[in-house]
């Protein structure tokens, strides 16, 4: 029986009080017997939490009490066991490290496209203007190996900080195409899509909510394998169920 609710969410929003916020959120999570990871930085919040449904929803309700997080809508999946071993809450320089300080999603995000629209574009082989569509995986190589969109561009990144140079190296290959960038839950693409726009690539989008939202809304169409997740499930399938067998050691 799937009795454990798993949530993931993030938001780029100025958090000058990240250190003090860390103490409050860690105290709340521990009081509710939750496990997982919360990352805080001056640029925002990124979290993965799991526990009994009532406790998880209670934590989210408390989070919504802070006006900065009132619109957060976590992505959900279920498991029959707790996928995290402990509760961690850390303050870092970036909630997703890119080492490119001029990229600040809180000031304005790159255009996003709904999962249903992505599926339709892939079904027809082009966007609504007839422009060829390519999918660009912004994740690390071992994540890609667990599963990705069919025919996705994969630059074999070993860490996200390699992405800016990879774009510069391959920019010519992306020009005159509609680029749909994607990652697990959307956080990397918030930065990746902005960077690509800044480098002069005009038709760049991010999948709203990443692979997990795509699975939730349209299933596994045009996708092979599972989605790597950073907990003991290792990967989830298109039904958002644990699929560790899809990860090859």
Residues marked active site are found at: 183
CA 93 – CA 49 distance, rounded (Å): 21
* Terminal C-alpha separation, the chain: 28
Orientation angle between helical segments 187-198 and 163-174, nearest 10 degrees: 60
- How far, in whole angstroms, is CA 24 from its chain's centroid? 24
Q: Which two tokens stand for residue 163?
A: 């992405």
Orientation angle between helical segments 18-31 and 53-64, nearest 10 degrees: 150
């Amino acid at each position: 029986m799937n009795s454990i609710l798993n949530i993931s969410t993030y938001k780029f929003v100025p958090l000058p009080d990240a250190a003090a916020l860390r103490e409050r959120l860690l105290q709340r999570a521990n009081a509710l017997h939750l496990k997982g990871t919360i990352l805080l930085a001056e640029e925002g919040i990124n979290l993965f939490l799991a526990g009994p449904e009532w406790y998880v929803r209670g934590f989210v309700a408390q989070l919504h009490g802070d006006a900065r997080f009132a619109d957060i809508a976590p992505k959900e999946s279920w498991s029959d066991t707790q996928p995290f071993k402990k509760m961690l809450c850390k303050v870092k320089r970036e909630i997703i490290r890119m080492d490119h300080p001029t990229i600040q999603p809180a000031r304005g995000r790159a255009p996003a496209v709904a999962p249903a629209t992505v599926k339709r574009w892939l079904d027809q082989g082009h966007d609504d203007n007839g422009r060829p569509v390519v999918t660009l995986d912004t994740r690390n190589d071992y994540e890609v190996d667990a599963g990705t969109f069919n025919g996705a561009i994969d630059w074999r990144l070993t860490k996200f900080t390699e992405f800016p140079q990879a774009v510069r190296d391959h920019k010519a290959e992306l020009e005159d195409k509609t680029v749909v960038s994607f990652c697990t839950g959307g956080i990397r693409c918030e930065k990746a899509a902005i960077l690509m726009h800044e480098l002069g690539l005009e038709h760049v989008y991010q999948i709203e909510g990443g692979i997990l939202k795509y699975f939730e809304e349209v299933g596994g169409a045009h996708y092979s394998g599972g989605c790597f997740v950073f907990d003991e499930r290792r990967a989830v399938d298109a039904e958002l169920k644990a699929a560790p067998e899809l990860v090859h050691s």
